[in-house]
Amino acid sequence: MSGLEIERKFLVRGNDYKQQATSYSHIRQGYISSGHGRTVRVRQRDQQAFLTIKGPSLDGGLSRYEFEKEITTDEAAQLFRLCEPGIIDKTRYLVPSPDGHHTFEVDEFHGDNDGLVMAEVELGDPDEPFTKPEFIGEEVTGDRRYYNSHLRIYPYRQWQ
């Protein structure tokens, strides 16, 4: 998969998303390179693995170019050895929007980012309307503190 990724990010209130989720998975991801808004990431999601390259954010963090390729879990294990310090560990819940037109990816972070829960919705166009579930809180699109590549260096637990 490659192309322009358009997404909006939100903080999550409460834990109603767990009851509304249609599925969930465990994600572990590391960064081979991150800087100047560009990242090269390796991710293992349950028994699948991916290598992802992302370009700098556009539109105040709303969109960015993304290239993603599925790799084997053995390749991912080798690539994790090349990663910069700090691994992101999270559980992802897939929650349909109230109108059923979109899916919210709700990430519950673990480890040094324990206590942080964020939701993302991918859109086809920056102005595309969508219906928010009730658990959606403050929008944090474009706030670099909430980028996974930033959370690995400055974990949520250290923010106070």
Residues marked active site are found at: 31
End-to-end CA distance of the chain: 38
CA angle, 46 then 69 then 77, to 5°:
50
